[in-house]
Amino acid sequence: MLTDSTMERLRVLAESAKYDVSCSSSGTVRRGKQGMVGNTVGGVGICHSFADDGRCISLLKVMLTNYCMYDCAYCVNRRSNDIKRATLSVSELVDITMEFYRRNYIEGLFLSSGVVRNPDYTMERLVAIVRNLRTVQRFNGYIHLKSIPGASQELLNEAGLYADRMSVNIEIPREESLKLLAPEKNHQSVFQPMRLIEQGVMENKEDRRRYRHAPRFVPAGQSTQMIVGATNDSDRDILTMSSMLYGQPTIRRVYYSGYISVNTYDPRLPVLKQPPLVRENRLYQADWLLRFYHFKVEEIVDDLHPDLDLEVDPKLAWALRHPEAFPIDINTADYEWLLRVPGLGTKSAWLITNARRSCRLTSEHLKKMGVVMKKAKYFITCHELSASTLQPLRGINELSPEKLRPLLVSPRQRKLAEQEKQLTMDFGE
């Protein structure tokens, strides 16, 4: 039975869960079934709302309890914090999920929990909820379940039958930094459950090859998250870790979470007036380059540039470092090379490869297709005399990258980057 006390506890537990950024409902397509409630749409998933901070609300993101026996410095729910603690009962959580889902508020449930007593005890309670949702309520929507590091393989195996996606957060890319902030954890404790889930998925694939109706195991794969700006790890550490993870068969998404000073009293943590939002944004852009634009991590960050440029996006930064690759001829270049042109995305690259089968393209065509000519014009040639107004004679090679760069950074971008640099200056002392 839902009451006013439920409302207060839901508030507390949502506040505790909100620093986990993962929210997507993608990765599985499952049609509705007679006698069951819900379906999953796959593709990009459905975001049902956008909170005042602009982040999407797709799943009911909530913790079962925010009591926790660990004391990780970066976490708002750490044992030594004096915050309001609460627990939702199984029936309350199940009721809220079903009622919200039936009103089209949410796509499903994203459930995590603080660790109480021991990992197995906590995991058991999480599994009890998803089991109830799937078998009693016949819920067929999306379920994202956080797996508790240290829980037994039997529990993970059962959880994987009910959940669409499971995740364990790495939080800190370098192990030394992790040990400093969370003495009770190490990389082993994160990678162990990841490997167990992966193993389950691979075995399940083999089973399904033999028995078509074998139940699916974590069909939407795994995701993870890293905190940005809580330690002095470089973007290179972060992106190398992401690229390594994407090389594994079941990791679908890595999320980056700009560190928000939740525990200001802890001397191991930087005091940030404002989370590093520009840096976080650049990391997501770099992540996109890894996943959709055929970039390798060494091309984005290297020894000379261990951190991403805050003023320009990573693709433009790459282009400015590699003037020899340009200009690119729009009418003949491969799709992979079109993707390397600043101002050209996957959508316009696709339009171009299709359209140029029928005719030679000019900059007028490109503009209509939605290419950002303001940027792209320095990096391309197309079928026309270069004296036209849109296509200046001077491309990146004539202008030199040093002179081109200031032309492509807007004052607003420069200001935001400047602000963020100042706010994070006194870090590390």
Check residue 54 for interaction with another protein (CB under 8 A).
yes
Please say which residue, 60 or 166, places its beta carbon nearer to another protein: 60
Residues 12-41 that bind another protein (CB under 8 A): 12, 14-15, 17-19, 31-39, 41
Place of tokens 């939080």: 171
Q: CA-based Rg of the chain, rounded to a whole angstrom?
A: 24
Give 413's contacts (C-beta < 8 A, 6+ positions apart).
311, 312
- Local structure of residue 132 (DSSP, 8 states): I
How many CB atoms are closer than 10 A to CB 51? Answer: 9
Q: Any contact of residue 384 with another protein (CB under 8 A)? A: no
Site for another protein in 75-114 (CB under 8 A): 96, 99-100, 102-105
In this chain, which of 214, 260, 372, 409 binds another protein, going by CB under 8 A? 260
Contact call for residue 60 and another protein (CB under 8 A): yes
How far apart are alpha carbons 408 and 352 in whole angstroms? 23
51 interacts with another protein by CB under 8 A: yes
Selected from 61, 146, 253, 340, the binder of another protein by CB under 8 A is: 61
What span, in angstroms and rounded, lies between the C-alpha atoms of 105 and 120?
32
* 55 binding another protein? (CB under 8 A): yes
Which string of DSSP letters, residue by residue, matches 179-195? HHH-TT--HHHHHHHHH
Of 182-190, 220-228, 303-311, 361-369, the segment contacting another protein by CB under 8 A is 361-369
Residue number with CB closer to another protein (165 or 365):
365
We find the least distance from the C-beta atom of residue 50 to another protein, in angstroms, to be 4
Which two three-digit tokens encode residue 187? 């990389």
Distance of closest approach, residue 78 Cβ to another protein, in angstroms: 18
423 binds another protein (CB under 8 A): no
Residues in the chain: 429
Tokens of 19: 């620093």
Residue 200 near residue 244, CB atoms below 8 Å: no
Judge contact between 221 and 27, C-beta under 8 A.
yes
Binding footprint of another protein on the chain (CB under 8 A): 2, 6-7, 10-12, 14-15, 17-19, 31-39, 41, 46-57, 60-62, 96, 99-100, 102-105, 141, 258, 260, 274-275, 277, 351-352, 354-359, 361, 365, 368-369
